Amino acid sequence: MDYIKNMRKYIGNETLFTIGCGIIIEENEQILLQHRTDEDNWCIPGGIMEIGETFEEAAKRETLEETGLTVTGLELFGIYSGEKCFVQYPNGDKAFSVQIIFLSKQFTGELKQKDIESREHRFFRKTELPTNLNPRQKSFIIDWEEDNRHPIIK
């Protein structure tokens, strides 16, 4: 996050290019989603890559920070880009974030429920997904629901 804070000193609220890395954690044909405190919607665990990290390192770090889970056995689920990757946050900051999404069915640790970013974490069946999915993540959550992996650029 230091990189983003430093860049904001130079560009203010203008569009910042970032790379987001997240993990679809699946157990018993259910997906783990987190209910975000900042946008009051549901998304997968993940976040912005720091300078020097690999995609997998960023996804694992963010997932551990947000969920308390250590995830292994990552497989590429898809790479997402395009207009849906633009965001403007409530403070006016703008970003465009390419999304590198992994899938894993292997994890250890105790799932934490609340932290500064999350109200709760819950596993959902494909037929029970919440309606208020994060708009920037909805496409790959729906791709998971429809068994539609995109390990190539989408």
* Residues with active-site annotation: 120
Q: 3-state SS of the chain?
A: CHHHHHHHHHHCCCCEEEEEEEEEEEECCEEEEEEECCCCCEECCEEECCCCCCHHHHHHHHHHHHHCCEEECCEEEEEECCHHHEEECCCCCEEEEEEEEEEECEEECCCCCCCCCEEEEEEEEHHHCCCCECCCCHHHHHHHHCCCCEEEEC
